[in-house]
Amino acid sequence: MTKETQYLVVHQTREHEPTDYENLLGDGLEQAFARGLQEPAEIVAALNAACVPSPGGKPWTEDLFFSELKRLGA
């Protein structure tokens, strides 16, 4: 493979293994997307219905969801 054709898969660039929290959030998002949910309000409702923990243990809101995605670098 030449230098021009090299690429990195996202998992190769992470600094650590996902935490339990990150895995739970990822699982919740995968379930929401598998159900065809796309709108932020739908995704937030699905996270709350699935009891996916949020930072601080409060119910998910759209603002909290976007803030957390930004914090995690998603």
Domain boundaries, the chain: 18-72
pLDDT band of 73, cuts 50, 70, 90: confident
pLDDT at residue 6 above 90?
A: no
pLDDT at residue 12 above 80?
A: no
Q: What is the pLDDT of residue 43?
A: 98
Q: What is the pLDDT of residue 27?
A: 96
DSSP state letters, the chain: --GGG----HHHH-SSPPPHHHHHHHHHHHHHHHTT--SHHHHHHHHHHTT---GGGPPP-HHHHHHHHHHHT-
Q: What digits encode the pLDDT tens for the residues 29-70?
A: 999 999 999 999 999 999 999 999 999 899 999 999 999 999
Q: What is the pLDDT of residue 10?
A: 66
